[in-house]
Structure 1
Amino acid sequence: MSHEVSELISFTAALGVLRAAAEETRLRILALLADGELSVSDLTDILGQSQPRISRHLKLLVEAGLVERHREGAWAFFRLFDGHAGLVDSLIGGLDRAGAPLSEDRARLEAVRSQRAETAQTFFARIAPKWDRVRSLHVPEATVEAAVLEILGMRPVRSLIDLGTGTGRMLGLLASRAGRATGLDSSHAMLSVARANLERMGLSRVDLRQGDIHAPPFGRGGFDLVLVHQVLHYLDDPARALREAAKLVAPGGRLLVVDFAPHDLEFLREAQAHRRLGFSRDQVSGWLAEAGLGAVATRDLVPAGDAADQLTVTLWLAAETEVAILSEDARAVA
């Protein structure tokens, strides 16, 4: 994803930024964060310095507006601040990344990522059989993903958020099309899986946050595409989740919901922790209308055959007005 300077930076602010960067460890930290967010523990392992020392450098970088910090349970992650990303990219881009010490830092970064990926995959291996059981009941994931791309059309995406991102699969599908991409999930373990998956795909600058879908930690109107993919059936109050999701939609933006149509597979409640056995077109459309998104296009993905244990996947694409909702590509499949 490209990062552009959103506004001109004052001389005083530029001087502060450059002073903060003009120290060996802090410049190495900025070079590492240019490849994606990292925790204090990650940076300690990579740079071979004490946690208090790394924390002090990070504090200075945060105060200078070069780096931003967010919590994920007991963990703290750091990433380059978007507001100065263009200035930092210019600075880092001119460095010889193949020479010492940056080449050694990058080699240790890859080792940290490999360990993180191994840990994440060990966790996911334990839960994958349950997910595979549900996937076997509906059309293939590739079919769902193709439908998502088709209904969204080719309209540019400035900012995307995936609520309940899980393993980051939807971010992997859509992040490269967005100027800025964010994933939110309540589970630190699932975010670890998502982080490893996205890094493997070369999408290390996606912003992953831990938080509650019923109270997302973002301001109103910050995203022109909001995604709620296979999440609602886990929730006690899906209507509330959609009301909160709608608040995140920027003027002229869209909200895409993907979930199951009504079914009677009761075993999913106990075996998979499903709280709801699917949703009708009118039910979700009504919730979206109540949330202020009155224009809704829908599409059903029905499995082949007439087996009683097969699930239909429904897509709902909503916006404030019919004009804002779809490109011509998406109208054709609504």
Structure 2
Amino acid sequence: MTYHKFFRILASTAILGVLTGCMSGSDGGGGTSLETIAPLAGMTEEQYSKLQARGVVAKDGVPTRFTSVASTRTSGSGFDEPVGREEGSLTFRSGEEQGGVVTRNPTVTLTVNDLTGDAVSFHPRYDQSKNSLGRPVVSGSPGDVNGKKIYLGRRTQNLRHTAVVYLPRGDGHMYVGGYASDIQGLRWSHGVFGRETTPDEVRALHGSATFNGVGAATVNYLKSDEGEGGGFYEGNTSATVNFVNNTYVMDGNFTGKSVAPFEALPFTMSSSGKINPDGSMTGTVTYGGLDAVKSTINGDVDGHLFGPGGQSIGATFIGHGNDASDNYVNIVGHAVLNRN
């Protein structure tokens, strides 16, 4: 089974919950009742406002630019096109209900500009049988330390686009979020967004700090004796930052879901690099545990410190390896971490 078939199965079997949140008010026009429907179902309007106040997301209806995007796509019949960097944004918009009638649905729009300059957008998947208001489908408890997952999708000319946004808690202390997207098994991307630490704030940081968090990755590979395979991975990440010499080290352990006849072997990542004066992070990464190629799988990390005190880290990572037998591995992913 190819990876894009696997992803469609994964998306179709995800357990999704529909949660709601709203705030009442008045439109001042003859006393007609007006309710604002929070775009982040399952969060209160207060929690959504706190996300805006922390700078994780922009004002309602204003795009939040991705700090970093990592992507890979197919080339011909294989997955051997090199991984690369892209741009994009995430926009949240509240809905409105007036006199018992929904005049505007809440929505979340994720837009990724691919390497050719074309823009692809993702929108909420609705469960109309359970949700007459058409609010975005989400999963996760409001108390989850890693926040919520918002599932997005779009079907265009028989191409199915799917994405999941990892959003921190509205009432938490994390300043960064991430996302992963797939276009019909033809192109994958991962990104991070949030309130970046400014150069002035970076200069005020001293000593060292440890971070822990989560991450997600997309892996595709070709083994000449078996065929193509791969999967979607999630895992745990950790990092140590030295603000004196402006360096970092980051490690991660990721586990995927196997699809016969391929086994999604766990893999590790180990990265080191520097913290730049503007708060950006650049470094190299080495991957272990993937045996599709008989050579070292290397790549790079592109990220940033987030929060007024460098409380969070958000980064994307890429990797590519091949060998003389025409085997290859592509890896793209992201990690979001918070200071301990």
Q: Same fold per TM (> 0.5)?
A: no
- Return the TM-score normalized by structure 1: 0.30
- Return the TM-score normalized by structure 2: 0.29
Which has the larger Rg?
1
Whichever structure has more strand as a proportion of its residues is 2
